[in-house]
Amino acid sequence: MENDNKYVITIGRQFGSGGREIGKKIAENLGIKYYDKELLREAAKSSGMNEEFFEAADERTPTFYNNLMAFNYGYSAGAYMVGSMPLNDDNIYRSQCEVMQELARQSSCVIVGRSADFVLRKHPRLISVFIHASMESRIARILSRCDCKTENEAKNISVKKDKLRANYYNFYTDKEWGKSESYDLSVDSSKLSVDDVAKLIISYVKLRLPD
């Protein structure tokens, strides 16, 4: 597929559902590029902004970002300049979008989160996927990663992260985060192993985008 026609697989995911791990597995099996946090570094390089600005705004709504920047750096984000470009929410988001579009033009890839399915909606060979899982499964995965120590903490962080991701996605797109109709394919990762979920998605991609 990749030699003749570039394609992009975007992955939205609930926190703790294994979306990142599944995305990596898909990219490895297909021999294509994988982007998650790497997008922030690429966007920082392309824009000339400090990577910390992108990390602070990562999958968070503008209100959150403005308040955080004002607290951490003691200035209004909209008043700070990077070259001739003001540092504000729109430019942070725009820079990230431009990087995603350029990466999608360069080669086939998997992109996790950051409303990539909406940003790349005009790509002729786009497959959008959402990974969800039962709360029990998500708690177990979060605890196994040592993100927190108790089941209650794991549940709370999952709910909080999902709310941030939903607010971000719903703010920047005309769709609703996590709703099956917003994506080509929605998969419950608690029903299968990571390898099998990856295989399922790859099978779908090959059916949708035959050689």
The model's pLDDT over 74-84, given as tens digits with 9 standing for 90+, comes to 444 444 444 44
* Res 147: pLDDT: 74
Q: What is the mean pLDDT of residues 2-11?
A: 82
Q: What is the mean pLDDT of residues 157-178?
A: 94
Give the pairing of strands 81-82 and 109-112: unpaired
Q: What angle do CA 27, 128, 42 make, to 5 degrees?
A: 55
Give the pairing of strands 33-35 and 185-188: unpaired
CB atoms within 10 A of CB 193: 12
* Res 87: pLDDT: 54
**Tokens (6 digits) for 158:** 């999952």
| Domains defined along the chain, listed by start | 8-45+108-208 (3.40.50.300)
Tell me how far CA of residue 10 lies from CA of 23, 116, 125, 183, in angstroms: 9, 6, 11, 9
H-type alpha helices, the chain: 19-30, 38-47, 51-57, 62-73, 89-106, 116-119, 135-144, 151-172, 194-208
Alpha carbons 76 and 63: distance in angstroms, whole number: 12
Question: Higher confidence at residue 137 or residue 78?
Answer: 137
Radius of gyration of the chain (CA): 17
Collapsed DSSP state (helix, strand, coil) of residue 29: helix
Collapsed DSSP state (helix, strand, coil) of residue 10: strand
